Structures are given as structure tokens and as C-alpha cells.
Amino acid sequence: MIHLVTDSTSDITQAEAAKLGVTLVPLVVRFGEDQYRDGVDLEPDAFYTLLQRNTAHPTTSQPTPEQFADVYRSLLKNADDRVVSLHISAKLSGTLQSAHLAAKEFDPDQIHLVDTESVSGGLQLLVLAALQDIAAGKAAPVVAAAALARRSKVSIFVLLDTLTYLQRGGRIGRAQALVGALLNVKPVLTVNDGEVAPMARVRSRKQGIDKILELVKTRKPLQRIAVFHASVPDFIGVLADRVHAENPGVEVSSGRIGPVVGAYAGPGGIGVACLGAD
């Protein structure tokens, strides 16, 4: 049996993971001395409330190798059990490194690790595609290889209210070039080669949505789309409706940007992830 593992930066909820049959390993968010497991002890609404009340920037940390080893051990109970483990970009988090260290305790053919070079909706789309491969009866090495091959077909476009949280958290990447040039404008960012990069600057959320949809159009044909938001449900409804209208026949899912990713995106962000056709 093939078991699919991912981490909480996929922004798949615990309930969704249980329904999908995915094992979710949570990262940790800290506000001062208080720490919370992403999506387990702290849900998005409570997180964004804390974020806006606290003057100190939250910190995050990856799961430990021991946590991953415990998860893998619980799944590899039978001789034919295998794990395919898809994770946030190694350039954005040490999560994959922890998974690598844990995997050393097992036979090499038992655990297949994938750096998705993505996060949030992008990682989520790769997880869903891998589940389809597993359902189709593909072997674990083939499922992992297919996920690696799809990395270049995943695009993420995010409109943020501010770069402040990315900059404070040290995950700003090539978007650093926009800092200081954003008076009265908002950044549209992407994830390129596993790190944050600038795409455009706009003056309003409406312009940002227009720009995101324009960018999504350049990635067609598509097999799946995810729209997601950081505590702005009204705008995500508008974005989702337009995505559906402009991409008939393409499966579109909606979700929230969870606590760990939200610690860097900040409140007010909206975005689209899309997966190109195989």
C-alpha cells in the first residue's frame, strides 16, 4: 500500500486530509512563549486574530526528524507498505531536511521524498495529482517521479496587502527588489524555482485579481486550479467566480492560507495556484 504524506504548509485541513487519506505533518507557529501546531492547535481565524493583536512577529519551525520518523514508522507496518512524502520547497523551509534525516532510518525503497518547490495551493495541487496516480495503481517510485515532473507545471500567483510579513520572516527571496517601491501599490508575487519572486505591482485588489487571471490564462491548458485567501472571504468569492467562468471544465477548489504560510503572507492575501495539463 502507498501512503501519501505532506505537511501543513499545503494548507490542507486536518478534516480534508482525513477524507483524502493523506497524512499531514504539522509545522509549528510561535507567538512569544506560546506555540501551536499548524492547523491542529490553531485554526486560520484564530491565527489571524492573534497576528493582528500581537506586536511581535510570529516565528515558525519545521517538524523534527523524530516526528517524521514516528509518522513513517506508523505507516510502514507491512512489507509492501511504501511512503511518498511531498513537501514545501526546501528553499522556504527546513521541513524536507527533517524528512530526509528521518528517512535514513528506513530502507531506501520504502520512502520516496519530493521537494515540490512549492507551497500552499501549489503543494496542494501536487498532492491531489499524486493521489490520482496512487488510485490508478502506479508504484511509489513512479508516483514520486510524476510529482517531480509536474513541479514545472505548477504556478502560484498571490496578491498581498504588504511585503512586511515576508520581509520580517526572512522568506522574501527575489521579491526584496520590490521593497521601498510599494507606496500606494500592492505586490503580485509568484513562487519560481522554489522561492518567492515578484510578478507585478497593482493599485487595488480589483486590479490584482485582473492581473492574476491574466497570468493564469497564460498557463492554459490546465487540469486543476486552487484559489485561496488569508482572511478576506469576500474577495475570494469574486476571484473564485471569475476563475470558474474563465476555466470551464477545470476542477477548482477553494481554501484558506493557514497559520504557518499566513505568518509570512500576512492578512489580506489572495491567490491562485494552477496545475498545467500532463
| Number of other CB atoms surrounding residue 243 within 10 Å | 23
Helix (H) or strand (E) holding 148: helix 140-150
Rounded Cα distance, 5 and 275, in Å:
20
Residue 95: what pLDDT? Answer: 98
Residue 176: what pLDDT? Answer: 52
**pLDDT tens sequence for the chain (278 residues):** 999 999 999 999 999 999 999 999 999 999 988 999 999 999 999 999 998 888 888 999 999 999 999 999 999 999 999 999 999 999 999 999 999 999 999 999 999 999 999 999 999 999 999 999 999 999 999 999 999 999 999 999 999 887 777 666 555 455 454 444 455 678 899 999 999 888 988 988 889 999 999 999 999 999 999 999 998 877 788 888 999 999 999 999 999 999 999 998 888 899 999 999 98
Handedness of CA 207, 224, 174, 120 (dihedral sign): positive
Rounded Cα distance, 122 and 215, in Å:
15
| Number of other CB atoms surrounding residue 98 within 10 Å | 23
Rounded Cα distance, 25 and 123, in Å:
14
Residue 168: what pLDDT? Answer: 64
CA contacts within 13 A on the Cβ side of 215: 24
Contact 270, 119 (CB under 8 A): no
Helix (H) or strand (E) holding 240: helix 233-246
Per-domain boundaries in the chain: 2-151, 153-276
Residue 177: what pLDDT? Answer: 47
Residue 52: what pLDDT? Answer: 84
Residue 170: what pLDDT? Answer: 53
Report the top-level CATH class of 2-151: alpha beta
Contacts 24+ apart (CB under 8 A), 136-143: 139/2, 139/82, 140/2, 140/82, 140/83, 140/84, 140/109, 140/112, 141/109, 141/112, 143/2, 143/84, 143/112
**Beta bridge partners of residue 202, listed in sequence order:** 186
Residue 184: what pLDDT? Answer: 63
Which 8-state DSSP code applies to residue 62? P
Rounded Cα distance, 71 and 46, in Å:
27
Rounded Cα distance, 21 and 273, in Å:
22
CATH T-level fold of 153-276: Hypothetical Protein Tm841; Chain: A;domain 3 (3.30.1180)
Beta strands in the chain (DSSP E): 2-7, 22-25, 28-31, 34-37, 59-61, 82-87, 111-115, 154-159, 186-192, 195-202, 222-229, 251-256, 270-276
